[in-house]
Amino acid sequence: MNELLRLQEFCNGIGCTCIAGELMSAHTSFKIGGPADLFIRPRDGDAAALVIREIKNLHLPMVIIGKGSDLLVSDDGIRGVVLALDEQTSSPELLSETMIRCSAGTSIAELCAFALDHSLTGLEFAWGIPGSVGGAVYMNAGAYYGEMKDVVASAEYLDSEGNTGTLQAAQLTFSYRHSWFTDHHDCLITSAVFCLQKGDRKAIRARMEELMAARKSKQPLEYPSAGSTFKRPAGSYASALIDQCGLKGRRVGGAMVSEKHAGFVINYENATCRDVLDLIEVVKHEVSEKTGFMLECEIKLLGF
């Protein structure tokens, strides 16, 4: 029996979702990506620790993902194991009047709604970010002048041996689209604690609605994408540079630079990963030639 079959039997035995040949297009907001050899969704952190140890014992390659909102996966898929925490492991909980703890699999939307329900302010900027708590902490997600580093107090994780660890805010080394975890890809974030402030529920709701309206008016939410395709270059904005170069609406196959927001490459019409990559190269080349700025991708590439 090969290692993947042994791992599949092990996962089934401890009650984890385990699917061979699962298309990654079903697990990314881009709706792009070929099959993973084995896709595993442990039911909680304890099960994830057992799975990680078994993967280590079997010497199988492993990739960890969240909700897949910032991923572009190869058309050929991913060799080895893809691991993602179950989104329904637990609900957010109050640790104190202003502290919330939640599973890494919790959606940012659920976390923000929980904060609103308890009149806690500080997460309004994140309302509408389409990822999970784990993914948001991993990349220090941010929008509208707010970032995860402003509200995360600590994060718990499993290392590549399945051992637990905790990092406090100062140890997370947050910076623009970076955290300690982006330098430690083999660690699985299992939960995070957020430190917020008491606020007025009506004011919090109004700010959330304001920012959601802004997202809907400015971003191509009606098409699959991975959010902002490029990082903000020092001294400018990627979307402004791309627009300046007349690249809105530029297409390669089914991929297109959004006509609504130049910073988004969208899956306009059954785009492949290759379509998106080729369009990204077109954009980077033209922006470099015409403005001198070198754009860097914000989305994470898997399966290459």
Q: Where in the sequence numbering do the catalytic residues fall? A: 177, 228, 298
DSSP 130-197: -SBHHHHHHHT-EETTEEGGGTEEEEEEE-TTS-EEEEEGGGG--BTTB-GGGG-TT-EEEEEEEE-E
Q: Name, in order, each residue with C-beta under 8 angstroms of 223's C-beta and a sequence gap of 6 or more.
A: 258, 266, 267, 268
Q: Name, in order, each residue with C-beta under 8 angstroms of 171's C-beta and a sequence gap of 6 or more.
A: 180
Phi–psi pair at 148, nearest 5 degrees = -60, -35
Beta-sheet strand order (sheet of 251-252): 251-252, 255-257, 265-267
DSSP 194-223: EE-EE--HHHHHHHHHHHHHHHHHHS-TTS
Gap between the Cα atoms of 202 and 184, Å rounded: 40
Indicate the helix (H) or strand (E) that contains 126. Answer: none
State in Å, rounded, how far the first CA of the chain is from the last one. 27
